[in-house]
Chain A
């Protein structure tokens, strides 16, 4: 199991957080998602055998946010 932090500069509100949470939770291998609005980052606990950090970043970007690599 792995823990990763992805900086997303344009998270501003609970609504952004909710959309990221629901999108990531549909990915196979994602175990837990924390969106820290104050910190402007998303922390994901995931299984590296099933999903990669790149997949997570892509999923966030597809929602229209700009995650840092």
Chain B
């Protein structure tokens, strides 16, 4: 990083539609000294790289706050539950007000209530629109100031016209005040219902994943002055010695001082098979010590460590996630222009027509038409169109173990994105399985398996678990007889006496250490384990991670939904070629570190692709977070799951096909829902401009469009 470069990274509140993004980017692009910026709607974060010599942090912050956005610390997580509860309370109040307004209106139509009722309705509409809808009014005014036309602006225009039309009607008796006030009240309620539905979707998805993870520095045990002290991880200096217990993650990069450690390094490579480390070997922070407590000499400070860099990669990725101009915002932009244009056209038409007919200028009729058009403008079903499609669709998806956390994902998934897959744990089971075995020197295969299975059941190594699991699958119950003198030899294997026989299972090194000659060669691409019975070689077992059952077929099917499919993995070139060589992939890249995976995602995005990244482990977290749609396969890594847009909680790879299939259908449903929501009002607006329909029609449209929308959403997905 250039020394004359700073990064401003904040959570940003007040992003109400995808236009906000282009608006902020417009403003930033005009500031001298700002090099790069990105606004992520999905994560509500902003990321700015700038030159501190030319522009001040406070200047940038002032600009953003001047645009009406609030900046917060990145670690501050939004409280969706609280927002939901506030919206629910407002919706309930607003619904009650609208119901009372509806009763008054009915009374006026039936003639049982007089003009006093109109006054009461005015008060109700005022309270509903100005008080309960105040937040949306503020957003609309902010949006209008920035030249953004979104659904809040639409609600504002309709509500305001309703209120003004009603007041004019009350004062002059020229307009029907009850109808105007009624519209203002109902529009507010429907808008609150839309906001409530959206917040419900958001809250549900957050609940499904649980609490957001916080990256807090931890306390580590350090040897200082002959004693062991608990020290904040950020205060440990290079050269100091830290102690790591069995099962703990290694807090800092360093050199192993103990003679041996078995370490899970999946955080680096995604490979779950433990790696053997000996005195003097490098160990990486974030990997997990699977053996007895070890001592490590720290080689780097926490802020330079692998773990910290990875966390920073993930944080950056959150803010760099590309924005999407959602379908709704695209439609709204045109629709609102259409409403405004028609309203003005109506105004002009009704001004000019009497002039042409020689009846002189009249302000009552044109203004009435103008306001009737605006009153027609708000499609009440709008706020529910997308939430309803998503609630329905994500319910179906959840039954199949697919949790869709970000509704915008379905649009991207339906638009032939580029699909990137992680290998280990995503396409494969992510643990070793017995791929083959053979008995040597005249031993019986099943008898060998019996003895080896019994002995291996004493080890907790993934290789041992695979072997005794396989033995049990093949033999059913295993009769072991007496087992004694079991000894686990770290990094090599296990030995003991089973049913009167001396058994050893482990690496070639173990056999050699026991004086057993191994004349059987290991097979390339497999981890080979040997077994000795009573001092002579009795057999071998090949182990390997294996592809999930349905991968080949699923990839063939996925081709119909994506514009490309490729593999990025931390595993070696050789293993990767052997395992996925037969699959229909466009390309693959092996040996990638977590940050490099994210670079591949960025590279594709820079070439204009929408990228879907599917991964499982901590090492996939930066790339999953950065992708347009990040899919976490399983809940192997909390951090990956928390930062994903879609979470698949199933062992089946073909759930991915299901995700694409359902997304297409949900997107289709979203489109018809939007069409239904806009249809009635779209027809009503020109009719209102021609003076053919009255404000109460707005309420008829409300009922029609909401009913149609509900019916459309009930259909099977």
Residues of A within 8 A of B (CB): 1-5, 32, 34, 36, 38-39, 41, 43, 45, 53
Q: Which residue of A lies closest to B458 (CB)?
A: A32
Q: Report the Cα distance A2→B575, complex, angstroms.
A: 37
Q: Which residue of A lies closest to B459 (CB)?
A: A34
Can you pick out 21 interface pairs between chain A and chain B where the beta carbons lie within 8 Å of each other?
A: A1-B481, A1-B482, A2-B479, A2-B480, A3-B453, A3-B454, A3-B477, A3-B478, A3-B480, A4-B472, A4-B477, A4-B478, A5-B469, A5-B472, A32-B458, A34-B460, A38-B430, A39-B465, A39-B469, A43-B472, A45-B457
Q: Which residue of B lies closest to A36 (CB)?
A: B465
A45 to chain B, nearest CB (A): 6
Q: Report the Cα distance A27→B60, complex, angstroms.
A: 67
B679 to chain A, nearest CB (A): 45
CB contacts (< 8 Å) of A39 on chain B: these are: 465, 469
Given contacts A3-B477, A43-B468, contact A34 B457 (CB under 8 A): yes
Q: Which residue of A lies closest to B456 (CB)?
A: A3
Q: Which residues 690-706 in B have Cβ within 8 Å of A in the complex?
A: none
Main secondary structure of the interface of B (DSSP, over half): mixed
Given contacts A36-B465, A38-B431, A43-B468, contact A5 B473 (CB under 8 A): yes
Q: Out of B431, B457, B477, B480, which one reaches A53, CB within 8 Å?
A: B477
CB contacts (< 8 Å) of B465 on chain A: these are: 34, 36, 39
Q: Which residue of A lies closest to B480 (CB)?
A: A1
CB contacts (< 8 Å) of A5 on chain B: these are: 469, 472-473
B470 to chain A, nearest CB (A): 10
CB contacts (< 8 Å) of A3 on chain B: these are: 453-454, 457, 468, 472, 477-478, 480
Q: Report the Cα distance A1→B460, complex, angstroms.
A: 19
Taking a contact as CB atoms under 8 Å apart, the answer to whether A43 and B429 are in contact is: no
Total interface residues on B, CB under 8 Å, equals 20
Q: Mark B447-491, 1 if CB is under 8 A from A, else 0.
A: 000000110011010000100110011000111111100000000
Q: Mark B479-517, 1 if CB is under 8 A from A, else 0.
A: 111110000000000000000000000000000000000
A48 to chain B, nearest CB (A): 8
CB contacts (< 8 Å) of B468 on chain A: these are: 3, 43
Q: Which residue of A lies closest to B460 (CB)?
A: A34
| 16 more A-B residue pairs beyond the given contacts A2-B478, A2-B479, A34-B465, with a C-beta to C-beta distance below 8 A | A1-B481, A1-B482, A1-B483, A3-B453, A3-B454, A3-B457, A3-B468, A3-B472, A3-B478, A32-B458, A34-B457, A34-B460, A36-B465, A39-B465, A43-B468, A45-B457
Q: Report the Cα distance A50→B429, complex, angstroms.
A: 37
Q: Report the Cα distance A62→B457, complex, angstroms.
A: 25
A27 to chain B, nearest CB (A): 17
Q: Which of A32, A38, A41, A53 has the most CB of B within 10 A?
A: A38
Q: Report the Cα distance A38→B431, complex, angstroms.
A: 9
Q: Report the Cα distance A39→B473, complex, angstroms.
A: 11
* 5 interchain residue pairs of minimum CB distance: A5-B472, A3-B478, A1-B480, A4-B477, A2-B479
Given contacts A1-B482, A5-B472, contact A43 B431 (CB under 8 A): no
Q: Report the Cα distance A34→B465, complex, angstroms.
A: 9
B454 to chain A, nearest CB (A): 6
Q: Report the Cα distance A34→B466, complex, angstroms.
A: 13
Q: Which of B431, B453, B468 has the most CB of A within 10 A?
A: B468
Q: Which residue of B lies closest to A41 (CB)?
A: B469
A34 to chain B, nearest CB (A): 7
CB contacts (< 8 Å) of B431 on chain A: these are: 38
Taking a contact as CB atoms under 8 Å apart, the answer to whether B477 and A2 are in contact is: yes
Q: Mark B420-432, 1 if CB is under 8 A from A, else 0.
A: 0000000001110
Q: Report the Cα distance A3→B455, complex, angstroms.
A: 10
Taking a contact as CB atoms under 8 Å apart, the answer to whether B480 and A43 are in contact is: no
Q: Which residue of A lies closest to B454 (CB)?
A: A3
CB contacts (< 8 Å) of B469 on chain A: these are: 5, 36, 39, 41, 43
A59 to chain B, nearest CB (A): 17
CB contacts (< 8 Å) of B481 on chain A: these are: 1
Q: Which residue of B lies closest to A1 (CB)?
A: B480
Taking a contact as CB atoms under 8 Å apart, the answer to whether A45 and B480 are in contact is: yes
Q: Report the Cα distance A4→B482, complex, angstroms.
A: 15
Q: Report the Cα distance A57→B612, complex, angstroms.
A: 43
Q: Which residue of B lies closest to A38 (CB)?
A: B431
Q: Which of B457, B473, B480, B482 has the most CB of A within 10 A?
A: B457
Q: Which residue of B lies closest to A40 (CB)?
A: B651
Q: Which residue of A lies closest to B466 (CB)?
A: A39
Q: Report the Cα distance A4→B480, complex, angstroms.
A: 10
B235 to chain A, nearest CB (A): 32
CB contacts (< 8 Å) of A32 on chain B: these are: 457-458
Q: Which of A2, A32, A41 has the most CB of B within 10 A?
A: A2
CB contacts (< 8 Å) of A34 on chain B: these are: 457, 460, 465
